[in-house]
């Protein structure tokens, strides 16, 4: 393959990875899909590809649909032990993020609700809302009619609509929110945490990466009790973590996030866990906690590449 052909693909790589991530909710799977697309690009007759961007979009979309339909992925997500993979602010997979719809499409709230959609509905929603494709273009990509595309987007929006309004925060606001949350969680006073939560708040965690299924909580008092216990450091927790991590504020998938980071002389910094806070108005409507190493590989890579402000807690 000559250099110009490779360059044409590389010019599209970031956009293709962003598309695959939204379709699959997994950065690792998205990277695999993009690599598969590159292999097909290598084998294709370039002279017959009039619009490389359109050809690549179709290939990546349909490879992702095949992955979504696979028995392995359907089983993983059906048993309720699956979380969308979190991405740190600045990760190229979070783009494009110029419009509210584009930013919203990559929030943890929307990525979670996309699990309600069948594969074709999900593809239509992502192509339309995040990448502004026309129904004619979507029909060509998915080999459906324009009318079918319009019907799919109508149904998809109906299922995802409850996530609309999920806010996208900046680093300054995130630090303020996280500081208040950590201060309340560390105080040992449940009522301080309850005061930060909406009346219909929910929480879901992977049990510090050890639970067979996701653990779900509702009712502010129950959530606050769980959080208070979780944030209380103990020798057993430090042993499990491999040391005393520092606690940082950050932005993950557009939401304020508590990020636990352990520094190791041999391995460098490693993200041990992420707690994402979905904000509605001036309160927290959802808490999502993740510590499974399998889901934190990319966020660790991105963390190591970026500069960060001082931790909220130097040593937990």
Task: Give the tens place of pLDDT for each residue, 267-305.
Answer: 789 999 999 999 998 999 999 999 999 899 999 999 999
Q: From edge to edge, which strands make up the β-sheet containing 255-264?
A: 215-218, 197-205, 283-290, 268-280, 255-264, 246-252
**3-class DSSP state of 311:** coil
CA gap 20, 61 in Å, rounded: 7
pLDDT over threshold 80, residue 162: no
Average pLDDT over residues 194-220: 92
Structure tokens at 240: 């499990």
pLDDT at 79: 54
Chain segment 63-113, per-residue pLDDT in tens: 999 999 996 777 667 655 688 999 999 999 999 999 888 999 999 999 999
Which residue in the block uniquely carries the two structure tokens 């719809």?
Answer: 101
What letter would DSSP give residue 117? S
The domains located in the chain, with CATH, are 3-163 (1.20.140), 171-305 (3.10.450.50)
Token pair of 274 as six digits: 């992420």
The answer for residues whose C-beta is within 8 angstroms of residue 297's C-beta and 6 or more apart is 28
d(C-alpha 136, C-alpha 56), whole Å: 17
Phi and psi of 58, rounded to 5°? -65, -45
Q: How confident is the model at residue 208 (pLDDT cuts 50, 70, 90)?
A: confident
Q: What are the tens digits of pLDDT across the range 234-257?
A: 999 999 888 999 999 999 999 999
Q: Which long-range contacts link 308-313 to residues 24+ away (Cβ below 8 Å)?
A: 308/248, 308/250, 309/171, 309/175, 309/248, 309/249, 311/246, 311/247, 311/248, 311/261, 312/175, 312/178, 312/179, 312/182, 312/247, 312/248, 312/249, 312/258, 313/182, 313/186, 313/246, 313/247
pLDDT at 164 over 60: no
Tokens of 102: 């584009």
């Amino acid at each position: 393959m000559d250099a110009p052909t490779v360059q044409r693909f590389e010019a599209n790589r970031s956009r293709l990875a962003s598309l695959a991530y939204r379709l699959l909710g997994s950065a690792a799977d998205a990277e695999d899909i993009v690599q598969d697309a590159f292999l097909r690009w290598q084998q294709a007759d370039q002279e017959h590809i009039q619009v490389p961007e359109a050809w690549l979009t179709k290939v990546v979309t349909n490879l992702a649909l095949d992955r979504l339909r696979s028995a392995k992925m359907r089983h993983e997500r059906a048993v309720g032990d699956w979380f969308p993979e979190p991405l740190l602010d600045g990760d190229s997979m979070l783009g494009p993020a110029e419009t509210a719809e584009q930013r919203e499409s990559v929030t943890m709230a929307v990525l979670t609700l996309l699990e309600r959609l069948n594969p074709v509905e999900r593809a239509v929603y992502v192509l339309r809302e995040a990448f502004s494709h026309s129904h004619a273009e979507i029909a060509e990509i998915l080999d459906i009619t324009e009318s079918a595309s319009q019907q799919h987007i109508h149904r998809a929006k109906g299922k995802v609509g409850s996530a609309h309004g999920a806010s996208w925060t900046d680093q300054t606001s995130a630090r303020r929110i996280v500081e208040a949350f950590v201060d309340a969680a560390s105080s040992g006073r449940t009522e301080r945490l309850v005061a930060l939560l909406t009346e219909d708040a929910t929480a879901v965690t992977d049990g510090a990466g050890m639970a067979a299924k996701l653990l779900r909580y509702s009712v502010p008092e129950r959530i606050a009790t769980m959080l208070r216990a979780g944030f209380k450091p103990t020798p057993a927790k430090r042993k499990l973590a491999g040391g005393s991590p520092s606690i940082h504020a950050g932005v993950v998938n557009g939401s304020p996030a508590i990020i636990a980071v352990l520094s190791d002389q041999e391995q460098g910094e490693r993200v041990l866990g992420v707690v994402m806070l979905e904000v509605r108005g001036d309160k927290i409507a959802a808490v999502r906690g993740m510590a499974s190493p399998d889901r934190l590989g990319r966020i660790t890579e991105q963390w190591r590449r970026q500069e960060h402000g001082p931790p909220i807690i130097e040593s937990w």
